[in-house]
Amino acid sequence: MLGVEFPICAFSHCRDVVAAVTNAGGLGVLGAVAHSPERLQNELTWIEQQTGGKPFGVDLLLPSKYVGAESGGTDAGQARDLLPEEHRAFVDDLLARYGVTAPAAPPRRSGGGLNISPKGYEPLLEVAFAHDIRLIASALGAPPEDLVQRAHDRNVLVAALAGTTQHARRHAAAGVDLIVAQGTEAGGHTGEVATMVLVPEVVDAVAPVPVLAAGGIARGRQIAAAMALGAEGVWCGSVWLTTEEAETVPVVKEKFLAATSSDTVRSRSMTGKPARMLRTAWTDEWERPENPDPLGMPLQTALVTEPQIRINQAATHPDAQARQLATYFVGQVVGSLDRVRPTRSVVLDMVEEFIDTIGRLQRLVD
């Protein structure tokens, strides 16, 4: 269905990871929600050149319902004007306390906010559909009504992430081709039900729509477990963040390599919705009862996008206090990421361990 050798979908914001996974026999999916249309255009062209016709995909946040959608939605610029003074003051104070005093240097690339309103994502969809993509994925809620038809008209498959069986049923009813059942152990936006419980439930609920398992999958044994649960393949994100190709901020990469599986937390501090990330001084500060609660989506993103850039820039100094704040989305598999490897090796090791595992299981019942 996906035209891949191995049923491994790799979500990454980094085009090099996407191309490397596709070239290794999996399916790279470019996370492009924070891209400008120009950047997406360049990256998809680059990926096409690198992969020579092999399949890849694009992931956007495409909520079917969006506050203010009639008027084109609220994007980062407008959202910034709506931020409560208490929240601005808390973030300013937080950065000052951790020695983050420099303003943000101009980013290397355009983008930064999340393009999750129709006004934000429509230009991205146009760029994506103008390229030879095999898959478009919607990471938040069921995809908008017309998207499935537009994708199918272009021979593009539609995937949608689901954290509950109820959401998965809604996606299937919307005509989605692939459901990504994502357990609570996953990095980024995630629900409360674990992969072990969610996957068989979703598989049974949406049959015959195929299901990919996400959350807790970084090695071949976990792929075999996902297939045992009834998934047709897997969707992995965190495992690529410590690859050679990954553009993960260096201090965050170091923290990921040192972290255990107990070092993540579901926090609303980055986007306003619960998302799993590394537990650091940043997430701890947002948890303290005396500090303000995170805002909703998209306000929290508007509040923290520039501060996050400033933290990561300040954290490049080896003894900067800002290093304590630095964090990023990652799943509980972070505990198993202990060295930097080329993306291609990660894929091939996954496949080898998967095949070994099936052999081991077979010997159990022989």
Residues that bind a copy of itself (CB under 8 A): 164-166, 183-185, 191-198, 200-201, 215-217, 219, 221-222, 224-230, 260-262, 331-333, 335-336, 355, 357-359, 361-362, 364-365
Cβ closest to a copy of itself, residue 63 vs residue 220: 220
Closest separation between CB of residue 187 and a copy of itself, Å? 11
Distance of alpha carbon 151 from alpha carbon 347, whole angstroms: 28
Closest separation between CB of residue 204 and a copy of itself, Å? 9
Closest separation between CB of residue 5 and a copy of itself, Å? 13
Query: Among 356, 349, 357, 361, which Cα is nearest to 219's?
Result: 349
Closest separation between CB of residue 182 and a copy of itself, Å? 12
Closest separation between CB of residue 32 and a copy of itself, Å? 27
The first and second tokens of residue 60, run together, are: 């956007």
**CA of residue 22 relative to chain centroid, distance:** 17
Residues whose CB falls within 8 Å of the CB of residue 163, separated by 6 or more in sequence, listed in order:
182, 183, 184, 189, 190, 191, 192, 193, 198
Cβ closest to a copy of itself, residue 176 vs residue 259: 259
What does DSSP say about strands 157-162 and 178-182: parallel, antiparallel, or unpaired? parallel
Closest separation between CB of residue 16 and a copy of itself, Å? 26
Which SS3 state, helix, strand or coil, does residue 24 take?
helix
Which SS3 state, helix, strand or coil, does residue 250 take?
helix
Cβ closest to a copy of itself, residue 214 vs residue 252: 214
The first and second tokens of residue 111, run together, are: 């983008």
- Tell me the chain's radius of gyration from C-alpha atoms: 20
**CA of residue 50 relative to chain centroid, distance:** 22
Distance of alpha carbon 352 from alpha carbon 365, whole angstroms: 21
Cβ closest to a copy of itself, residue 219 vs residue 253: 219
DSSP per residue over 28-47, as a string? EEEE-TT--HHHHHHHHHHH
DSSP per residue over 192-228, as a string? SS-HHHHHHHHHHHHTTS-EEEESS--SHHHHHHHHH
Residues whose CB falls within 8 Å of the CB of residue 173, separated by 6 or more in sequence, listed in order:
none
Cβ closest to a copy of itself, residue 223 vs residue 315: 223
Closest separation between CB of residue 33 and a copy of itself, Å? 25
Cβ closest to a copy of itself, residue 126 vs residue 352: 352
Cβ closest to a copy of itself, residue 158 vs residue 162: 162
Cβ closest to a copy of itself, residue 141 vs residue 307: 141
Amino acid at position 13, single letter: H
Cβ closest to a copy of itself, residue 24 vs residue 314: 24
Closest separation between CB of residue 146 and a copy of itself, Å? 29
Angle at which helices 195-206 and 220-228 cross, to 10°: 40
356 membership: H or E segment, kind and range: helix 343-365
Closest separation between CB of residue 304 and a copy of itself, Å? 24
